[in-house]
Amino acid sequence: MILLVKWGLTPFLIWVGVALGQEARVLEVAGGEKIEYTLRTFAENAHLPETLLKHPPGGALDTAKLVTQLLAEGRLEDVSLLSNAPKARYERLKDSFGAWSKEDFERAFSRYFAAENRILGEAAIGRHRLLMWYLKDTNHITAYYFVEIEGRLLLDDVPSETRTQLRRVLEDFRARR
């Protein structure tokens, strides 16, 4: 893209970016701070289970769907292995869901794949991603944080300034609902 911009094709790139469902955005927060991020949008049915991948995850949506499917099956160890801090993730999941039955997991997480829900978008800042998933039954936007490490997107369980910025993007989306 940089070469195309240098050659004066910027309007074409902007048109292609919008056509692909991606746009650059700036969020102004208290104190005059500006958070620059890219927002990617998806088709209305992108969250449905029939589009669930049967191979290692690729993008944030694929990874979120895999994590959600594993949670619906109660597979906490497998979810933890998709984290950049697997031991900490496993301990938090075990503390939160240790007493849950298989039916509890299925009821709580399989509903993410209900037709009335949708993916609101994927915000990206550098290697970090925020996938926002709207759940109609609770009228709530839930989210997954990811970070790209060695070509893979993993659940981002390590605090960072970028993750804090993505949290502000999520709060802005929630406030505008």
What is the extent of the structural domain holding 77?
A: 42-122+130-175
Main-chain phi, psi angles of 113, to 5 degrees: -90, 5
Rounded CA gap, 61 and 42, in Å?
Answer: 9
Rounded CA gap, 105 and 30, in Å?
Answer: 38
- Those residues of the chain that have pLDDT short of 50 are 1-20, 54-56
Nearest to 147 by CA among 119, 124, 171, 167: 124
R_g over Cα of the chain: 17
pTM greater than 0.85? no
Q: Is residue 136 part of a domain?
A: yes
Q: How many domains does the chain have?
A: 1
Q: Is residue 87 part of a domain?
A: yes
Q: Is residue 88 part of a domain?
A: yes
Q: Is residue 14 part of a domain?
A: no
Q: Is residue 4 part of a domain?
A: no
Assigned token pair, 177: 């609902």
Q: Is residue 62 part of a domain?
A: yes
Q: Is residue 17 part of a domain?
A: no
Q: Is residue 20 part of a domain?
A: no
pLDDT in tens, 6-41: 333 333 333 333 234 899 999 999 889 999 999 999
